[in-house]
Amino acid sequence: MLLSDHILFLDGEALVIDKPAGLPVDAPRDGSLSLENHLDSLRFGFKRWPLPVHRLDRDTSGCLLLARNPKAHGRFTRAFEERAVEKQYLAILDGVPAGDRGIIDLPLGKTSTAEQGWRMVVDPKGKPSVSHWEKLAEAGGRALLRFRPETGRTHQLRVHALEGLGFPIVGDPVYGKGGAKDRTMLHAERLVVKRDVKPPVIAEAPFPDRFVALGFAAPEGAAPTRG
pLDDT at res. 226: 58
Q: Give bridge partners of residue 137 from the DSSP assignment.
A: 144
Q: How far apart are CA 68 and CA 97, in angstroms?
A: 41
Span 101-113, average pLDDT: 94
The whole-angstrom distance between residue 66's C-alpha and the CA centroid of its chain comes to 14
Residue 222 in this model has a pLDDT that exceeds 80: no
Span 148-155, average pLDDT: 94
Q: Which of 26, 40, 57, 100 is catalytic?
A: 57
Span 112-117, average pLDDT: 75
pLDDT at res. 227: 46
Span 97-120, average pLDDT: 90
3-class DSSP assignment, residue 137: strand
- Averaged pLDDT score across all residues of the chain: 93
Span 145-160, average pLDDT: 96
Portion of the chain with pLDDT greater than 90, in percent = 80
Q: For the chain, which residues make up each domain, given as ranges?
A: 3-212
Decide: 79 and 85 in contact? Cβ < 8 Å.
Answer: yes
Which of the listed ranges 46-50, 109-113, 150-154, 201-205 does the model predict with the highest average pLDDT? Answer: 201-205
Domain 3-212 listed as CATH 3.40.50.740:
no
Q: How far apart are CA 212 and CA 153, in angstroms?
A: 28
The structure's pTM equals 0.93
Residue 84 in this model has a pLDDT that exceeds 50: yes
Catalytic residue check, 57: yes
225 band by pLDDT with thresholds 50, 70 and 90: low
Q: What is the pLDDT of residues 19-50, one digit of tens each?
A: 999 999 998 887 788 999 999 999 998 999 99
pLDDT at res. 196: 85
Give the start-end residues of each E strand in 30-107: 51-52, 61-67, 85-93, 101-105
Decide: 122 and 134 in contact? Cβ < 8 Å.
Answer: no
Q: What is the pLDDT of residues 159-198, one digit of tens each?
A: 999 999 999 999 999 999 988 789 999 999 999 999 988 9
